[in-house]
Amino acid sequence: MLHKTLKQFPKGFLWGASTSAYQVEGASLTNGKGPSVQDVKTPPAGTSGFEVAADQYHHYKEDVALMGEMGFRTYRFSISWSRLLPEGTGRVNQEGVDYYNALIDECLKYGIQPLVTMYHFDLPAALEERGGWANRATVDAFVEFSELMFRSFGDRVRYWLTINEQNMMTLAAEAVMGIDFSKFDNPNKHVYEMNHNMLLAQAKAMCLCHQMLPDAKIGPAPNIALVYPASNKPEDILAAQNFNALRNWLYLDMAVYGIYNNLVWSWLEEQDATPENIQVGDMEIMRAAKPDFIAFNYYSTATVAMPGPGEAGTSGDQQRGATIEGFFKAMPNPNLPRTEFGWEIDPIGFRNTLREVYSRYHLPILITENGLGAYDKLEEDGSVHDQYRIDYLRAHIEQMRLAISDGVQMLGYCPWSAVDLISTHEGIVKRYGFIYVNRDEFDLKDLKRYRKDSFYWYKKVIASNGEELG
């Protein structure tokens, strides 16, 4: 659709950026924090662990001041479950509560709305030892953790995100959490029973939020990307529908309508993998829980074809596609360039995805991640010339504005990431931030902060409410 006049970004649009606790904070096993699954996993060869990360735990004042200088209207960060509840349940670590109180107050000092992710890939290790999400008790633990957060921070936090990328924890568990489910007899049964518990935990948290904090707004935060068919062969259209259902609609249909997507359900039936842990009353809770908005992370679209008979499955990460026998197979999209780390770049796909999500669910959309991972270089004079990141973000913001002109209701845009941090599985060298953090993979250097070129550019974007993208 061509627009003669583009609509403006709404007044009060939430411009900001995102991080997650385990990737940015450091102080991973100090100050009363218990270990999370991220602290006990073995990092992929050649990448550092999360002990220090960007050390935001000790640099938060400086980081928030820099975000204030950029004009952020929101900062999306996550709360580490095991920093508040070292064993995942029970004893509260007051030092953890104090830390997040201080971080929230620091944001408010600069007029920055805290946007809190309640759980971002870092399940307390103590809960994982007791079966993790496969154990129904973890649902109760999440409700206890939610109640503690709403009670402690709800007087100042208006926007809440339940679970970051539940779909990637289900589809790409090895890449994002270092967990390999192949040891189970029927891995999919195990995984989709975990998934059910997580969906239930999310629904309960949304209901509790509305009950405890009537003025607050809450929504899910999956990784959503429209899936294209590799050709106009009808079989490829089926494959695209299959993967769209499995990676996208399963999560949003449940969060918004409280129903299991029929394509996913029949695929699970075929493998004797439907969740048997659904208890009486669960589906009523799912239907009763209503998000106020849909948040999602977008990096790129996916492309698939229908696999031939007997074509074996493969695994992927959040963006590099996987193949599931008889269901879909990942294909490269020859029309798209790639990042240095092999992720396809598709700004128009961002508009496609926004249009599709809005027309399916009719809820305002908040973008909680979007960005480019690259090997940045700190120059002698302290500058970082990341024009490639500016180009990537500009192209996505342009498409977001076109989507707004198409009638999509948008609440805000938070690229990944506010400051450099450790990637899920590709180390600190895969940088995303507006703010450079001076450390290498294994040499911590001085952790000093530097403003990248994208920092100055984004500041202008925000000041002009998205008009000046030059």
Closer residue to ligand BG6 (CB): 78 or 274: 78
When CB distances to ligand BG6 are compared, the closest residue is 423
Closer residue to ligand BG6 (CB): 10 or 427: 427
Beta-strand ranges (E) seen in 227-386 are 227-229, 294-297, 302-305, 329-330, 365-369
Smallest distance, ligand BG6 to C-beta of residue 350, A = 15
Catalytic-labelled residue, pool 25, 106, 344, 369: 369
Q: Is 80 in the site for ligand BG6 (CB under 6 A)?
A: no
Helix 94-109 to helix 56-70 angle (10° resolution) is 20
Q: How many residues bind ligand BG6 (CB under 6 A)?
A: 16
One character per residue 258-297, x = contact with ligand BG6 (rule: CB under 6 A): ---------------------------------------x
Burial of 465 (0-12, 13-18, 19+ CB in 10 A): middle
> Of the ranges 69-77, 160-168, 302-310, 327-335, which one interacts with ligand BG6 (CB under 6 A)?
160-168
| 429 neighbors 412 (Cβ within 8 angstroms) | no
Is 441 one of the annotated active-site residues of the chain? no
Catalytic-labelled residue, pool 128, 165, 193, 344: 165
Q: Is 426 in the site for ligand BG6 (CB under 6 A)?
A: yes
Q: How far is Cα of residue 60 from the mean position of the Cα atoms in its chain?
A: 21
Task: For residue 74, give the 3-state DSSP assignment.
Answer: strand
Q: Is 174 in the site for ligand BG6 (CB under 6 A)?
A: no
| Alpha helices for 91-135 (secondary structure H) | 94-109, 125-129
Q: Is 454 in the site for ligand BG6 (CB under 6 A)?
A: no
| 432 neighbors 369 (Cβ within 8 angstroms) | no
Q: Is 73 in the site for ligand BG6 (CB under 6 A)?
A: no
| 400 neighbors 35 (Cβ within 8 angstroms) | no
CB neighbours of residue 197 within 10 Å? 24
DSSP state at residue 133: G
Q: Is 425 in the site for ligand BG6 (CB under 6 A)?
A: yes
Q: Is 20 in the site for ligand BG6 (CB under 6 A)?
A: yes
CB neighbours of residue 432 within 10 Å? 26
Smallest distance, ligand BG6 to C-beta of residue 428, A = 10
Contacts of 183 (CB under 8 A, 6+ apart): none
Q: Is 430 in the site for ligand BG6 (CB under 6 A)?
A: yes
Smallest distance, ligand BG6 to C-beta of residue 336, A = 17
Q: Is 223 in the site for ligand BG6 (CB under 6 A)?
A: yes
Q: Is 248 in the site for ligand BG6 (CB under 6 A)?
A: no
Among 104, 168, 169, 205, contact with ligand BG6 (rule: CB under 6 A): 168
> Of the ranges 49-57, 103-111, 248-256, 418-426, which one interacts with ligand BG6 (CB under 6 A)?
418-426
Q: Is 114 in the site for ligand BG6 (CB under 6 A)?
A: no
| 81 neighbors 145 (Cβ within 8 angstroms) | yes
Give the whole-angstrom CA distance, residue 175 versus residue 318.
8
Task: For residue 443, give the 3-state DSSP assignment.
Answer: coil
Smallest distance, ligand BG6 to C-beta of residue 77, A = 12
Closer residue to ligand BG6 (CB): 23 or 323: 23
Dihedral (Cα; 367, 368, 372, 375), 10-degree rounding: 160
Smallest distance, ligand BG6 to C-beta of residue 464, A = 27
Concatenating the DSSP letter of every residue in 13-66 gives: -EEEEE--HHHH---TT-TTPPPBHHHHSPPPTT---SSSTT-HHHHHHHHHHH
Residues 303-322 that bind ligand BG6 (CB under 6 A): 318
Give the whole-angstrom CA distance, residue 164 versus residue 181.
20
Among 424, 431, 454, 461, contact with ligand BG6 (rule: CB under 6 A): 424
Is 165 one of the annotated active-site residues of the chain? yes
Q: Is 165 in the site for ligand BG6 (CB under 6 A)?
A: yes
Instruction: Give me the residues paired with residue 219 across strands.
Output: 161
Left (φ > 0), alpha (ψ -120 to 50) or beta: where does 400 sit? alpha
Closer residue to ligand BG6 (CB): 349 or 373: 373
Smallest distance, ligand BG6 to C-beta of residue 319, A = 8
Smallest distance, ligand BG6 to C-beta of residue 98, A = 25
Closer residue to ligand BG6 (CB): 267 or 416: 416
Residues 353-382 that bind ligand BG6 (CB under 6 A): 369, 373
Give the whole-angstrom CA distance, residue 70 versus residue 62.
13
Residues 398-417 that bind ligand BG6 (CB under 6 A): 416
Query: Rule CB under 6 A: which residues touch ligand BG6?
Result: 20, 23, 164-165, 168, 223, 297, 318, 369, 373, 416, 423-426, 430
Query: Which residue numbers are catalytic?
Result: 165, 369
